[in-house]
């Protein structure tokens, strides 16, 4: 794999959750509580059994293997109008947008960046996991045209109503 990209954009603001969001922001509310759980489930090795404890052990191994973030791994922002929402401080610096890059130091995920983008008040609602595959080291056929535009990807939504699909780089 070349990368894993997880995007969650909501087409609404914080609404009546202003007081809560002021204490959490999108880092704690969504990334730390929800998206990291998805990462752990995707990145973990198969558990020894099906019970809760075995799954928790494998998820904990993923969390332990996460490389600490540096300032260059994180971008924070705030949507225009957030400070006018009910129960939000006039000078708030709480993030309603954040993007980050994460690495998991394990044999399976060595060198594969995980990208997250979370955004409130987006023009479009989006919840997807995109896995970008590495390009093959050589062309399969001698007369094949080398594609420089994009790699093969697999896209899946968070919800069961969103089907998964492949986006091949060539036909």
Catalytic positions: 34
> Residue 132: exposed, middle, or buried by beta-carbon count in 10 A (0-12, 13-18, 19+)?
buried
**Can you tell me which residue has the tokens 């394990």?**
106
Query: Of 137, 39, 135, 25, nearest to 88 (Cα)?
Result: 25
Residue 24 belongs to what H/E stretch? helix 18-26
Q: Are 101 and 115 in contact (CB under 8 A)?
A: yes
Distance from C-alpha of 68 to C-alpha of 64, rounded to nearest angstrom: 10
- At 135, is the secondary structure helix, strand, or coil? coil
Q: Are 44 and 152 in contact (CB under 8 A)?
A: no
């Amino acid at each position: 794999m070349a990368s894993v990209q997880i995007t969650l954009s909501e087409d609404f603001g914080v609404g009546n959750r202003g007081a809560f969001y002021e204490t959490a922001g999108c880092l704690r509310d969504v990334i730390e509580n929800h998206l990291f759980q998805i990462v752990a489930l995707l990145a973990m090795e198969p558990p020894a059994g099906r019970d809760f404890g075995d799954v928790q052990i494998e998820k904990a191994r993923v969390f332990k293997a996460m490389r600490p973030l540096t300032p260059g791994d994180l971008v924070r922002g705030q949507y225009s109008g957030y400070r006018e929402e009910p129960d939000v401080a006039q000078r708030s610096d709480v993030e309603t947008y954040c993007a980050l890059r994460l690495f998991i130091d394990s044999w399976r995920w060595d060198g594969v960046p995980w990208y997250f983008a979370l955004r409130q008040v987006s023009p479009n609602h989006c919840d997807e996991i995109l896995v970008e595959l590495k390009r093959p080291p050589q062309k399969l056929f001698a007369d094949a045209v080398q594609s420089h535009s994009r790699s093969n990807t697999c896209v899946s939504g968070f919800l069961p109503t969103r089907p998964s699909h492949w986006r091949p780089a060539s036909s």
